[in-house]
Chain A
Amino acid sequence: MLWTNIFAGFGGQGVLLIGQLLALAGMNEGREVSWLPSYGPEMRGGTANCSVVVSDEPIASPVLSMADCVIAMNTPSLDKFESCVNPGGKLFINSSIIEKKATRTDIDVYYVPCNEIADSLQNPKVGNMAMLGAYLEATKAVEVKSILDALLYKLGEKKAKFIPLNEEAIRLGAESIRK
């Protein structure tokens, strides 16, 4: 099994974090993983993306030009990375703020209303987790439990109270692409 993924969005949308959670969860499931952020002089409000590989084999290149899955949290990310989805791959679009539709017809496209889901949970911060939920539903790349364990590891026990909220966001994200 080999999943190559590009997570992209605005700085602050948590795309680097959900990429890291996927890498951590993959590692804890015994897979080979790599997480490579794009980094630049931009800070808040700028664009951010990371390349995440989860594989059963040792990972050759952690640098991706094409990926099995692209997660676009904002319009510039969709513009930049739609062409980078491997044929037959998956494209996840944050339909809450991206008004346009995908133009590719040779891939599976999922529209996830991340911000609406976050708003329904009264916490704008969990839009990324809704997207991750949709990604996990479509790919089954790792178990949801592994993601939650990874999140607990990142948050620490003091912030463990936020786990149920994130779990709910993941569930709603998964549900949004099921119908």
Chain B
Amino acid sequence: MAKKLMKGSEAVAEAAIQAGCHYFFGYPITPQNDIPEYMAAQLPKVGGCFLQAESEVAAINMVYGAAAAGARVMTSSSSPGVSLKQEGMSYLAGAELPCVVVNMVRGGPGLGSIQPSQGDYFQATRGGGHGDYHPIVLAPSSVQEAVDLMHDAFDLADIYRTPAMILADGIIGQMMEPVEFHEHEKRELPAKDWAATGWDPASGRPRAIVNSLYIEVDELQELNDRLQARYAIIREKESRAELYHTEGAELIICAYGTVARICKSAITILEKKGYKVGLVRPITVWPFPEKQLREVMDQPSVKKAVTVEISAGQMVEDVRLTVNGTKPVEFFGKPGSYTPTAEEIAEYIIKSMEA
């Protein structure tokens, strides 16, 4: 199929429809309005439903309803709106419902800015709402990868009966790049026999009850044990990272999303000057690719790691937990919406390596 030049937000929406998502509930917020706009135009054509809810809270609860009925469903928003959805995300996790939430992250805290940011890493990877849960969080660094990860997000959500999130910065949402919508490998997905789709006493099957309230201590324990067992499998099987020029590197940059691409440009500058620098780019930020990063960091040539983020330093905590004190881990970046340039990153790395 021919390549199309598409905005990240539109491409994500198209990818969702192609992944079989026919239900979208959302509420407008910059910089992701191209997603609901695209969905509003396209979903009726495939017999789906687009609904602009009265609020983010309403939208995520509509997602809960559609997911409970067994539908592939999504919502999208940007940081302040995603904060409003957190209660619903916790309920979805507690009720073991699959869905996809897209966050085109903008600067915070509060209403913040409408420019790109990575300040929602903690919220996304730690669960965000109340209780012990994690969504699976995928962090694309190009429009094409956003498209590919959208398919994965729906499949992973179904396989593990959990919310999945696409954590992208505003740049991915606003940028146009060529994309190809190729056939995706069909995974074997479990039957949604738990879905509440109507009950007939003659059917012989028990009523499907979708619920996240477990009043009895033992029952709640059972749910939590089930969730934690599932998270252990996800940690074991689903973590992903891209390794770039890591072999024999003396310093490892760890960055995700668009920032990782700026780091690649910084590495080009650094390599021209003779510095050996590699990049570990987490593609899943939950589960964090601990094994991949640890293997790279364990190379004798590697002296330290530098994490680069548009935040006050969030992912750097996961990098430190992974490296576990064996080598120094530094942080470069600013909170808010300031996107560092390749030159600034290179300059910091040189200072750090010469120190």
Contacts and interface: CB of A to CB of B under 8 A. Distances in A.
Given A27-B178, A40-B114, A61 B5 contact: no
Contact of A37 (B114, B174, B265): B174
A26 to B, nearest CB: 9
Interface residues of B, number: 23
Given A20-B176, A27-B178, A62-B175, A35 B5 contact: yes
Contact of A63 (B31, B114, B268, B341): B341
A123 interface: no
Contacts of A39: 30-31, 114, 170, 174
Given A39-B114, A41-B114, A63 B171 contact: yes
Interface string B254-287: 0000100110110010000000000000000000
A63 B339 contact: yes
B176 A61 contact: no
B13 to A, nearest CB: 18
B62 interface: no
A95 B265 CA distance: 34
A27 B265 CA distance: 21
A65 interface: yes
Nearest to B173: A39
B177 interface: yes
A34 interface: yes
Contact of B5 (A24, A40, A59, A60): A24
Given A20-B5, A33-B5, A39-B31, A61 B262 contact: yes
Contacts of B175: 34-37, 62
Contact of B171 (A32, A33, A36, A66): A36
Contacts of A63: 171, 258, 261-262, 339, 341
B31 A62 contact: no
A23 to B, nearest CB: 6
Nearest to B344: A65
Interface residues of A, number: 20
B114 A62 contact: no
Interface in B73-120: 114-115
Contacts of A33: 5, 177-178
Interface in B27-79: 30-31
A7 to B, nearest CB: 13
A35 B8 CA distance: 11
Interface string B1-45: 001010000000000000000000000001100000000000000
A60 B268 contact: yes
Contacts of A65: 341-343
Interface in A1-50: 20, 23-24, 27, 32-37, 39-41
Interface in B214-273: 258, 261-262, 264-265, 268
Contacts of B170: 39
Contacts of A24: 5
B342 A23 contact: no
Interface string B328-339: 000000000001
A65 B174 CA distance: 17
A49 to B, nearest CB: 12
Nearest to B143: A34
Contact of A23 (B5, B115, B171, B343): B5
Contacts of B264: 60-61
Given A39-B31, A61-B261, A27 B5 contact: yes
A61 B308 CA distance: 14
A10 to B, nearest CB: 19
B6 to A, nearest CB: 10
A98 B221 CA distance: 71
A2 to B, nearest CB: 11
A20 B170 CA distance: 18
Interface of B: 3, 5, 30-31, 114-115, 170-171, 174-178, 258, 261-262, 264-265, 268, 339, 341-343
15 contacts: A20-B176, A24-B5, A27-B178, A33-B177, A34-B177, A35-B5, A36-B174, A36-B175, A37-B175, A39-B31, A59-B261, A62-B171, A62-B258, A63-B339, A66-B343
Given A36-B175, A61-B265, A61-B342, 19 more contacts: A27-B5, A27-B178, A33-B5, A33-B177, A34-B175, A34-B177, A35-B176, A36-B176, A37-B174, A39-B30, A40-B114, A41-B114, A60-B262, A60-B265, A61-B261, A62-B258, A63-B262, A63-B339, A65-B343
